[in-house]
Amino acid sequence: MSPATSLSPNCSGTDTVVATTPLVTFLVRVQETALRTFGEEDFDPKRYVDLSLKSDLSKTQKAFDGLPRGGENGTVSVEDLKVFIATYFDDAGDDLVYYDPEDFFPEPEGFLPKVKNPEVRSWALEVHALWKNLSRKVSDGVLEHSELHTMLPLPEAVIVPGSRFREVYYWDSYWVIRGLLASKMYETAKAIVTNLIFHVNTYGYVLNGGRAYYTNRSQPPLLSAMVYEIYNRTCDVELVRKALPALLEEHAFWNSEIHKVTIQDAHGSNHNLSRYYAMWNKPRPESSRRDKEYASKFLGNSEKQQFYREVASAAESGWDFSTRWMRNTSDFSTLSTTSILPVDLNVYILKMELDIAFFANVLGNKSTMESFLEAAEARKNAINSVFWNDEMGQWLDYRLTNGPICKESETWQACNQNQNVYASNFIPLWIDLFHSDAALVEKVMGSFHSSGLVHSAGIATSLINSGQQWDFPNGWAPLQHMIVEGFLRSGLKEARSLAEDIAMRWIKTNYVGYKKTGAMHEKYDVQKCGQFGGGGFYKPQTGFGWSNGVVLTFLEEFGWPEDRSIDMAQQDLNLFSLSLLSLATMTLTTDLSPKCSVRGPVVASTPVVTFLERVQETALGTFGEQDFDPKLYVDLSLKSNLSKTQNAFDGLPRRGENGTVSVEDLKVFIATYFDDAGDDLVYYDPEDFFPEPEGFLPKVKNPEVRSWALDVHALWKNLSRKVSDGVLEHSELHTLLPLPEAVVVPGSRFREVYYWDSYWVIRGLLASKMYETAKAIVTNLIFLVDTYGYVLNGARAYYTNRSQPPLLSAMVYEIYNRTCDAELVRKALPALLEEHAFWNSEIHKVTIQDAQGSNHNLSRYYAMWNKPRPESSTIDKESASKFFGNSEKQQFYREVASAAESGWDFSTRWMRNTSEFSTLSTTSILPVDLNVYILKMELDIAFFAEVLGHKSTMESFLEAAEARKNAINSVFWNDEMGQWLDYRLTNGPTCKESETWQACNQNQNVYASNFIPLWIDLFRSDAALVENVIRSLQGSGLVHAAGIATSLINSGQQWDFPNGWAPLQHMIVEGLLRSGVKEARSLAEDIAVRWIKTNYIGYKKTGAMHEKYDVQKCGAFGGGGEYIPQTGFGWSNGVVLTFLEEFGWPEDRSIGNSNQDGRQNAYSTAAVR
């Protein structure tokens, strides 16, 4: 689909502002003065705009202006301000008076008949009694002198949420009403609706809340849903008759010029959807100081105004605040609420349209009924067209590329869907219209199961722990209710079971929290039963309207059997919930080595590398950033000795403050004193290369594919090199390291051998029957271990400070599997033992001690370097410029180098803030895949020891492998998600004797690495686990039309979405293939076919094999990262040949661009669609 978005002419909204009252403006001044006087501790800005004047505004202002002030900021003394406030104001909240609702009874007749447990029933009655505590009426003072109050006059009694929320709130009222209906308080429920209708009649829409400073925005539109629920219980036609005109007016408001966005798809069909858009471009009065503080990042007034509108619009959403509205998930100033089409807002408007149609039918208004049924059907189609993501099985918010700026049209792109997981992604199920497709409901359930949202105490709002209150780990009553009710109403047995399970968790956490604190809370921490939530801009609140309402609604629906315990020690759990709790309740402590701090080891660089970094920096200043590759300069070889070359460099004429060398002078200098980058390796013709080897890819029957496979095979010859004689004779003039045997390089700027690339190169060489070339690569890597104690990242002097994913043992294993070469095993084993010691040394090893006292040893990446990487020195320095202290910069450089050691350079996987590169924290992460590679090494060493008759070594490493397998499952496995998740150390690289293990320290973002353990036989012994992982992969959102994405986060980093990489495809495919599960083999072949096809089409388009590919677009190569896309390409060639060797390609299966093999299973069809 390629829709275009057309916003209304006034979509920028610069003129859409609802004026506030003079009283609010004055109270904001009082608020600012109070902050300077009383200080920030426990300061609540809302309290000051909730004050009521005792006398007229003019008199109060004069008294305020006459207060003695001191200092530059005109600060009023504490005593003077206290006296002033006491003299001229009534307390905040005095504008509402307690009210005893006539329809409240301590135990209503027919109250919660399904609640049989006496303990739960007693608590439910206490929650019911809270309605009386939260009932208010507007005071006579407000009704008689509204100009003295920010409280708006309302005709009927209200239920307030509680604590600082002293007035009625719009969307809270829906769940309050649901609870009141469970409490049989029908008249109080109707009174709330009457007040909200009064808002519409007065302002044209329901306000966010019942204060004058809320007149500039609404909140999620649920008035029709309130009326519907009351009518369902009471059949009160008069209420419907009174409500319908207001609902029609509200519907017009949400479809007005400022809210409506029209999406036109490729077929010319229009889809109307709505967005939040506050009519305000100033600081919110109730949070004026904070808004100004955040807006201080913006210099221009128009930028500030737009930011204030985004803040107010996020408040209009009810989700104030969440990463859901931010372009950068950890930078509040990147709020872009008005640039987002939200799933749930459009669900609420769809509900309104269905309700209006229903009410019109009740009242006999047939034309209105038909009109709104038609509108509802159109919106349902719009929701599915724009928000539905079939791969993820969720509805995703859509980001408008051009934000709130007017543009006639814009191209719709899949990447504009926000692929982060939020509870709102599942809200459409709340509407019956989405239940008609049972397959869709089942898909959404599968997605929900594996989403990572469901925890031991309820549904998390998101997976991102941002510190904002509408994010992880907080759970909110409205979200629990809508998702539970959606599953419940779907009619599926499994869905009802899941709904009841979540409801039980939520009831229990509310109960335990109430017993601990004596209060119901606004929000809860879904990781810890009974723990209230935190985050946001105010301290946690109690009361609490919607929490009370949802608990009573759940108890009314599901009840609580007499024999089901609700105490903190026991819970009646089904298998699904038990598996979730098993992880959430595990307590581990982490014991880092004594040298775990930033002052870790540093491997010294060579003089020639240090000098070439100076040349690199000068070249950047001279030639500029365009097409500049810093690696080229540290790959240069000196023609004569370093001293002579340095003297010539230092003698170059320079000008300006930065000492810039002219383009001509620098070009002449480089040509005179250096050989070209790459001249230190010479082309080599491998003796075991044949244009078409005997027995080559026997399963490839299609002539077109076979011809291409031979082209790929021929690339081994193009990529074969040997170190030049110059390097062997004068290594001091080169950064290239002398290697004894021929190499196969990846290609393009990667002019030297690389460690982990070599594994997939070898897999391809074995498919090409080039066994001796494969052995030569292994010999070179053994040489590196013998020389340095570990295999280097790559064969350059600047790579001596780090390794890469340790796959040497896997290379030896694959070669031995084909050749039975025991001598190669004998030569390799000592190096493998040394490498194993390196990855379990002090700097890499982390010991996890669980609650039972069992130790689990795991490893992390940890580069022996704390400076800019020479091959990217200019880039690293620029990134580090955000840090002021030298130690901070050193730690950042170590994190960068450690991420490069991981091979995933770079990815949000290593960042605390997924859109801020400077938050890299690689050394603070225990990675799943690194530990899988070391486990593979341990298994391989045991195998090689057995081959060579070393029984004790074999037994020792089998024991080590079993221990690491247990460690991987104990620390990384997440049963809810069906994945193994990286674990973040709370204290980072800083030493601490122990730390409490928490489930939230698992990185719950979905990465391809989460599935790598399946590559190892040990993890495939449990068929149920394999099936769980397969389901998780299918519902993960990773599998696309052209392969497996590296992550779901489109960060601009190359090891993130939408890039797919050959190694990840291979390990996951091979893991599925070897599992022995029929469905897994089918899925493995499906992914392999996609990957082969995208490589083929890319090759036919460009004449080259690529380093990485865009998994959304068949044949498109990948992008992102710190260098331009590369061709060649070693591991891509190797994986394609490996897949073709395994799966072949039938003669009748097309590989053309438009014709995909029709023999796809249901899963692959869904994933490609």
CA distance readout (Å), 813 to 821, 827, 944, 953, 957: 10, 13, 8, 17, 15
Q: Catalytic: which of 353, 391, 1107, 1141?
A: 1107
119 annotated active-site:
no
Which of helix, strand or coil describes residue 743? strand
905 annotated active-site:
yes
- In Å, how far from its chain's centre is CA 988? 20
In the chain, the amino acid numbered 583 is L
* Residue 927 to residue 860: CA distance in whole angstroms: 6
Whether residue 44 contacts residue 31, with contact meaning beta carbons closer than 8 Å, is answered with: no
- In Å, how far from its chain's centre is CA 818? 42
248: which 2 tokens? 């029609």
Which residues have a Cβ under 8 Å from the Cβ of 1054 and sit 6 or more positions away? 905, 906, 907, 1108, 1118, 1119, 1120, 1121
Whether residue 445 contacts residue 487, with contact meaning beta carbons closer than 8 Å, is answered with: yes
773: which 2 tokens? 């070339």
Whether residue 566 contacts residue 545, with contact meaning beta carbons closer than 8 Å, is answered with: no
781: which 2 tokens? 């890597």
* Residue 1126 to residue 376: CA distance in whole angstroms: 49
* Residue 184 to residue 192: CA distance in whole angstroms: 14
Q: Is 758 exposed, middle or buried (0-12, 13-18, 19+ CB in 10 A)?
A: buried
Q: Catalytic: which of 485, 501, 835, 905?
A: 905
Whether residue 216 contacts residue 312, with contact meaning beta carbons closer than 8 Å, is answered with: yes
Q: What b/e string do you get for 1001-1032 counting C-beta neighbours within 10 Å, with b at 16 or more? A: bbbbbbbbbbbbbbbbebbbeeeebbebbbeb
The DSSP element (H or E) to which 358 belongs, if any, is: helix 343-362
Instruction: Specify the residue for token string 């599997």.
Output: 817
* Residue 805 to residue 835: CA distance in whole angstroms: 11
Q: From the CB of residue 65, how many other CB atoms can be counted at a distance below 10 Å?
A: 9
The DSSP element (H or E) to which 1066 belongs, if any, is: helix 1062-1074
DSSP per residue over 52-102, as a string?
Answer: EESS-HHHHHHHHHTS--BTTTTBPPHHHHHHHHHHHEEPTTTTEEE---T
Whether residue 261 contacts residue 400, with contact meaning beta carbons closer than 8 Å, is answered with: yes
Strands (E), 994-1131: 1039-1040, 1043-1044, 1059-1061, 1108-1110
Q: From the CB of residue 1158, how many other CB atoms can be counted at a distance below 10 Å?
A: 8
Comparing CA positions, the residue from 479, 13, 17, 8 lying closest to residue 217 is 17
Cis peptide before 473 (omega within 30 of 0): yes
* Residue 860 to residue 863: CA distance in whole angstroms: 10
What amino acid positions are annotated as catalytic residues?
A: 905, 1107
